[in-house]
Amino acid sequence: MIPIKPTKNQLFCSIFFMCGIMFFALRNDWIIIRNPLNIIAQSKAEAGMPIINKKRVNLIFWQENQWNIEHTDLIWSTDVRHNIHYLINCWLTLLDEEHIVDKKVSLQTTLISSSSQDVYLSFDRYPFDQESSIHDKLMWIEGLLKTIRENGTKIQRVHFLVHHTPLSDPHLDFAAAWPINGFLPQP
């Protein structure tokens, strides 16, 4: 038998064919190549991520001349800003479902001060109905403050904003922060 010696063209074709197969396998994730430096960076990033778990929260609101408490489960993490944002949006959704407000109000932005004592809540619209009495407005605010306070946040004061500007109301002053303890006597 005569040995067959490959020509240069056959050799180049074989090499390019094998490279093509490798490229195809890499593109379709049949072969996965990991850089050890990326694995170390990824584990460091995961270590800095907030811990997330499920927490049962109390949503407190005023309806029919009494305080009502609704229990629900929320995703709770070590990030206070996200916790308050989810909590208040859930509370606002509950008010809409219970027909306490005429129009759905959403929380646009939640900011925490550098001292972690103040929270700035910016809503997408004026949160009260045009015909709301001062008592109804105060009960709405107290329900929000109680909801934040009862769910274990360290916030001391709340600033109310609409579209990132202080809320303007003919009856109540929102230029200054509202204390988280509210204005009703504590039981």
> Is 134 found in the same domain as 115?
yes
Q: Output the domain CATH number for residue 106.
A: 3.30.300
> Is 175 found in the same domain as 94?
yes
> Is 44 found in the same domain as 63?
no
> Is 140 found in the same domain as 110?
yes
> Is 89 found in the same domain as 153?
yes
Q: What is the pLDDT of residue 85?
A: 94
pLDDT digits (tens, 9 = 90+) for 117-141: 999 999 999 998 878 899 999 999 9
pLDDT band at 38 (very low <50, low <70, confident <90, very high): low
> Is 68 found in the same domain as 149?
yes
Please state, in angstroms and rounded to a whole number, the distance separating the CA atoms of residues 94 and 180: 20
> Is 130 found in the same domain as 59?
yes
Mean pLDDT across 75-100:
92
Residue 2 lies in a domain: no
Residue 64 lies in a domain: yes
Name the token pair of 14. 């074989």
Name the token pair of 54. 């499920």
Mean of all residue pLDDT scores within the chain = 86
pLDDT band at 42 (very low <50, low <70, confident <90, very high): low
> Is 32 found in the same domain as 76?
no
pLDDT band at 153 (very low <50, low <70, confident <90, very high): confident
pLDDT digits (tens, 9 = 90+) for 9-35: 888 888 989 999 988 888 887 877 776
Residue 186 lies in a domain: no
Q: What is the pLDDT of residue 129?
A: 82
Residue 86's domain spans which residues?
52-179
